[in-house]
Amino acid sequence: MIRREKGRRRDLWMLEYDKGGGEEEEGGGPVVTVAKAADNSSDDGDNNISINNIVNVTIIFTKKFQTSKLKLPPGPQKLPIIGNLHNLEGLLHKCLQNLSKSHGPVMRLHFGFVSVVIVSSNQAAEEVLKTHDLDCCSRPETVATKKISYNFKDIGFAPYGEEWRALRKLAVVELFSLKKLNAFRYIREEENDLFVKKLSEASQKQSPVNLKKALFTLIASIVCRLAFGQNLHGSEFIDEDSIEELASRSEKLQAKFAFSNFFPGGWIIDRITGQSKSLNEVFSELDGFFNRVLDDHLKPGRRVLETPDVVDVMIGMMNKQGEDGSFKLTTDHIKGTISDIFLAGVNTSATTILWAMTELMRNPRVMKKVQDEVRTVLGENREKITEQDLNKLNYFKLVIKETFRLHPAAPLLLPRETMSPIKLQGYDIPVKTQIMINVYALARDPKLWENPDEFKPERFADGSVDYRGLNFELLPFGSGRRVCPGMTMGIAMVELGLLNLLYFFNWGLPEGTTVKDIDMEEEGAVIIGKKVSLELVPIRPH
C-alpha cells in the first residue's frame, strides 16, 4: 500500500510490501515499486507535487491494482527456507500420493526455493499433457541431469527448443522407427534364445534363479547390441556385473538430493558434503564407457553391420551434415542420447518383467490362465519363440497392461517445467513451475479403477484403455511431446522376455517358502523395483 509521511516542508510517498495472505501476485511474489520522493522547499509545498511524482504514484497504483491475485493450488504448510522438504518421507511417489489425498489432485509444494505442482488425477494430467502440452513441455535443470545428459545434449532432459526438436525427430525417424524396430528383431530373439538356454541349465540342476539379475542381463545384452554394437557376453571393456553396478550408481545419483537444485548457493553445501565429488566420479566412469564405445566405432576399417546400431547411425549423420546454419550433431549429442538409452532403457524393462512374474506367482489363477493361453495358441514343443507369436495372444497382452498399471517402472514422470503461465483445474500455475505427474497415484485411484490394488488383467478386456499415452489414467510412458521415444522398443523387449518365461517353464518357489513369503517392498530412485529379488526355480514342463 502507499502511505504518506509528512516531514518538514516535505511530502514523502513510499511503497510498502504487500505481504498478502495465501495468494501471491503474478510472477510468484509481491510487487515492489519505489516512488521518488518530492522535496519542495517552498512554504506552500504541501500542495505542490511535481508532475514526475504524480506519474510515479499513478504507475504504482495502476500496477498494484491491475495485477490480479493468483489462485494457487492448495498444499501443506511450508516452513521458512526448506519449504515442504520436511513433508517428504519414504518413497516419493507414495508420499506424494498420501499428501494428495489430503490436499487434492492438484497440489503445490515447495522443495526449498523451488515451486512444484503435483498432479494426481487423470483430468489434470490430460490438461498438462494435452491441453497445455506446448506450455509445459520443457524440463527443469538439475546438476545431475546436466552431467549425465552432457549439458542437456539429449532427448530426455533437454529443455524445449530447436535442439530438442531436432534430436526428437532423429529419434523418431532414425533410431526408434517401426523399420528400425523390425530390423533389430533378430537381436531380441537371439538374446532371448540364449536366456532360455541358461534357464534350462538351472532347471536341470533344480536350482533357484535370481530373476532380478537374470532379467537385467537379458535386457542389458539386447540394449548393448542394438545401441552400442557390443556383445555383453564377449565385450572387451564391459561385462554383466560392471554394467549393472554402473547403471545402478548412475540412477541413484541422478535422484539423490542435491542442495544446488533447491537453494541459492547450494553448490557450496554439495561440495562440503561430497555430493559433487560423487557425481563427478560416477560421471567419469559413465563417460569412460561411452568414450570406449565411440572409439570402437571410429576404428579405421571397422565393419559396419547390415543393420547399423544407434551409434553407427548417429556417427553417419554427423559425418554427412552440411555447412549451413541448421542444427549440428556433435559427439556430446551422441553420448547424451546413448546415456538416455542405457540409463532409461535397461532397468525399466527388466523391472517390469520382474514385477509381472512376481504378481503371477502371487496369483496362481492368473498364471494358469495366461500359460494355458500361451501354450494352447502357440502349440507345444516349440524350440523357439518369435515376435510374430505375440500378435496371436490376447490374455497375455492384458497381463502386460495390468503390470504397467500396478507397477509403472517410473511412478513419477520426469518433471516438466512451464514456459508460460497456465490454468490447471481452475488454479493459476506461474511460469517456471515444475509439474510432476504421479502415474502411480493415477493407476491406483479408486475413482478410476475397481479394487485398484488387485492384480486383475480382466479389467482391460473391453480394450477401451491402452498405455501408449492416449488414456490419461494409464501413463507408464508419459504422453504428449515428451512421451518416451523408445516406447515401442521397450514394449517389444518386455513382451518377448515375459513370453519366453511363460512358454518354456513352469515356476516354483525355493524349498521352504510359500507365496506369502514373496516380499513386495519397493526400492529405487527414478526407477522403482523390488527391494528383495525374486528367487524362483524354473521347471521344464513335460
Which one-letter DSSP state was computed for residue 87? G
Asked if residues 427 and 128 have their Cβ atoms less than 8 Å apart, the reply is no
- Report the half-sphere exposure of 152 (CA within 13 A, side-chain side): 15
CA–CA separation, 246 and 221 (whole Å): 15
**Distances 128 to 456, 469, 497, 539 between C-alpha atoms, Å:** 29, 12, 33, 47
Q: What residue type is assigned to position 216 of the chain?
A: F
E strands along 299-426, which residues? 416-417, 422-424
Backbone phi, psi, residue 406, to 5°? -75, -30
Asked if residues 122 and 473 have their Cβ atoms less than 8 Å apart, the reply is yes
Place of cell 498420501: 98
List b or e across 101-119, with b for residues whose CB sees 16 or more CB atoms inside 10 angstroms. eebbbbbbbbbbebbbbbb
Which candidate, 346, 476, 494, places its Cα nearest to that of 413?
476
Place of cell 527414478: 526
Is 484 annotated as a binding-site member? yes
Question: Grid coordinates standing for 401?
Answer: 497392461
Asked if residues 131 and 411 have their Cβ atoms less than 8 Å apart, the reply is no
Specify the 3-state DSSP secondary structure of 263. coil
User: What size, in residues, is the chain?
Assistant: 542
What SS3 string covers 229-249?
CCCCCCCCCCCHHHHHHHHHH
CA–CA separation, 490 and 345 (whole Å): 7
CA–CA separation, 537 and 507 (whole Å): 6
Torsion, CA 532, CA 207, CA 374, CA 214, rounded to 10 = 50
Place of cell 506369502: 516
Question: Grid coordinates standing for 376?
Answer: 494352447
Which candidate, 410, 398, 484, places its Cα nearest to that of 442?
410
Asked if residues 337 and 167 have their Cβ atoms less than 8 Å apart, the reply is yes
Asked if residues 38 and 13 have their Cβ atoms less than 8 Å apart, the reply is yes
How far from chain centre, in Å, is Cα 40? Answer: 63
Which residue ranges make up the annotated binding site for heme? 484
Which residue ranges make up the annotated binding site? 484
